[in-house]
């Protein structure tokens, strides 16, 4: 193949469907015959760009307020999501989740991507939010997580506006492509997968995209 086989993934690190989708994508990629030729590019997408850095309300109450539903309904939704996560080998603790602004987390993801550690950084941020109750707008927390993954330069990042334009550029690209929800995966610039569709569906799209470029 003359060109790289890109998979662009727009997601947010506080989005439950994005974490489910990331695990599903990993499973699909493991079964893809040409996985060594795939280049994954993690793209920023803020679910709520105007959100505060912290909130006194628990996640169930925030969801209920945002979608105008009862707290019990919101709690039931989160319990179903946790069940899905468990089926993928993850232990979530959504009662500990701390909704927050994710702009700086996305800047850190961009930094990690430049060091070839975007996937690892994304997984660590997801786990910190969904399982550990970490506040992902706290710069010290982000620096500590980056150290765990082996990403260099996080402390310097907070003293500049580096990667801010890249984050906004990713979000502009999403808007231009008509992306309104995440995860959204653009496979080889041809096929779009929206939502956590499951490993089998993702694998099928990977194979169809590979076959399409081979027939071109």
CATH code, 107: 3.40.30.10
Is the pLDDT at 2 greater than 70, yes or no?
no
Q: Are residues 117 and 18 in the same domain?
A: yes
Own/partner contacts of 82-85, CB < 8 Å, gap of 24 or more, are 84/20, 84/196, 85/16, 85/19, 85/20, 85/23, 85/130
H/E segment holding residue 184: strand 184-187
Mean pLDDT for 31-59 is 93
Residues 35 and 115 in one domain: yes
Asked whether residue 1 carries a pLDDT value surpassing 50, the answer given is: no
Q: Is the pLDDT of residue 216 over 80?
A: no
Same domain, yes or no: 89 and 196: no
Residue 138 has pLDDT above 80, yes or no: yes
Examine the domain organization and report whether 82 and 45 are in the same domain.
no
Q: Are residues 126 and 29 in the same domain?
A: yes
pTM as predicted = 0.95
Say how many domains are in the chain: 2
Average pLDDT over residues 136-144: 98
Together in a domain, 21 and 118: yes
Are both 84 and 124 inside the same structural domain?
A: no
pLDDT at 215 over 80: no
> Does residue 163 sit in the same domain as residue 107?
yes
Domain span at residue 80? 56-97
Query: Does 210 share its domain with 152?
Result: yes
Average pLDDT for the chain: 96
As a whole number of angstroms, the distance between CA 33 and CA 214 comes to 14
Instruction: Answer for the pair 71, 61: CB distance below 8 angstroms, yes or no.
Output: yes
Q: How many C-beta atoms lie closer than 10 Å to residue 180's C-beta?
A: 10
């Amino acid at each position: 193949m003359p060109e790289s086989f890109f998979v662009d993934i727009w997601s947010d690190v506080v989005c439950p469907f994005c974490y489910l989708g990331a695990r599903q994508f990993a499973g699909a990629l493991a079964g893809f015959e040409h996985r060594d030729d795939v280049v994954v590019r993690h793209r920023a997408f803020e679910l709520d760009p105007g959100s505060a850095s912290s909130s006194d309300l628990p996640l169930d109450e925030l969801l209920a307020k945002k979608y105008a539903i009862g707290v019990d309904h919101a709690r039931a939704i989160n319990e179903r999501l946790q069940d899905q996560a468990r089926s993928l080998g993850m232990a979530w603790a959504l009662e500990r989740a701390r909704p927050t602004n994710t702009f700086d987390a996305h800047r850190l993801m961009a930094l990690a991507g430049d060091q070839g550690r975007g996937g690892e950084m994304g997984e660590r941020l997801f786990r910190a939010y969904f399982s550990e109750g970490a506040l992902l707008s706290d710069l010290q927390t982000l620096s500590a997580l980056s150290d765990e993954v082996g990403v260099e330069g996080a402390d310097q990042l907070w003293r500049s506006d580096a990667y801010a334009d890249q984050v906004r550029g990713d979000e502009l690209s999403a808007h231009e492509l008509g992306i309104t929800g995440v995860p959204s995966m653009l496979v080889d610039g041809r096929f779009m997968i929206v939502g956590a569709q499951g490993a089998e569906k993702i694998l099928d799209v990977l194979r169809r995209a590979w076959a399409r470029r081979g027939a071109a």
